[in-house]
C-alpha cells in the first residue's frame, strides 16, 4: 500500500518497493488492494520482493513502516538514510478490511509529511 500511495502522492518521484522478509512474487492481499483503491492507488499489479543490497544501493532514502524494521535497516545499511514513516505503522497482515483501511490512511497521512 505504501508504494502505491507514494506513487499517487509523488508521481514525479522514482521509488521501489521491497520488504525485509517478503516472499518473492506474491500479489498484494485483497484487503490491501481494496484499501489502496479507495484512496486512489491501484496496487493490483504489485508483486512482493525482498530488499537486496543492490536495491538498497540504488536508494537515496529507505523508508521503513515499523520501528523494528528501521532498526534492522540501520544495522544492515548504516551508510543509508533510513526514515521511519510517521511514528511507525503496524502491518495489518491477516486482519480485516477495516484494519487495512486504517493502515492505508495512516500511511497516506505520514507520506504527506515526507520531503521528496
pLDDT 10s digits, 64-82: 999 999 999 999 999 999 9
CATH topology of domain 2-112: Rossmann fold (3.40.50)
Q: Where are the domains of the chain?
A: 2-112
Q: Is the pTM for the entire model greater than 0.85?
A: yes
How does residue 115 score in pLDDT terms, banded at 50, 70 and 90? confident
CB-count burial class (<10 Å; 0-12, 13-18, 19+) for 8: middle
Tell me the CB-side half-sphere exposure of residue 103, using CA atoms within 13 A. 23
Q: What percent of the chain has pLDDT over 70?
A: 100
Who's near 115: CB < 8 A, 6+ residues apart? Answer: none
- 56 has a pLDDT exceeding 80: yes
Amino acid at each position: 500500500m505504501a508504494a502505491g500511495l507514494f506513487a499517487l502522492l509523488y508521481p514525479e518521484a522514482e521509488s521501489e518497493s521491497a520488504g525485509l522478509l517478503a516472499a518473492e512474487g506474491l500479489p498484494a492481499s485483497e484487503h490491501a488492494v481494496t484499501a489502496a483503491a479507495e484512496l486512489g492507488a491501484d496496487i493490483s499489479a504489485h508483486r512482493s520482493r525482498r530488499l537486496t543490497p543492490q536495491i538498497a544501493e540504488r536508494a537515496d532514502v529507505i523508508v521503513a513502516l515499523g520501528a523494528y524494521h528501521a532498526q534492522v535497516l540501520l544495522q544492515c545499511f548504516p551508510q543509508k538514510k533510513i526514515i521511519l514513516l510517521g511514528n511507525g505503522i503496524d502491518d495489518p497482515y491477516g486482519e480485516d478490511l477495516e484494519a487495512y483501511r486504517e493502515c492505508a490512511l495512516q500511511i497516506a497521512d505520514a507520506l504527506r509529511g515526507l520531503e521528496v
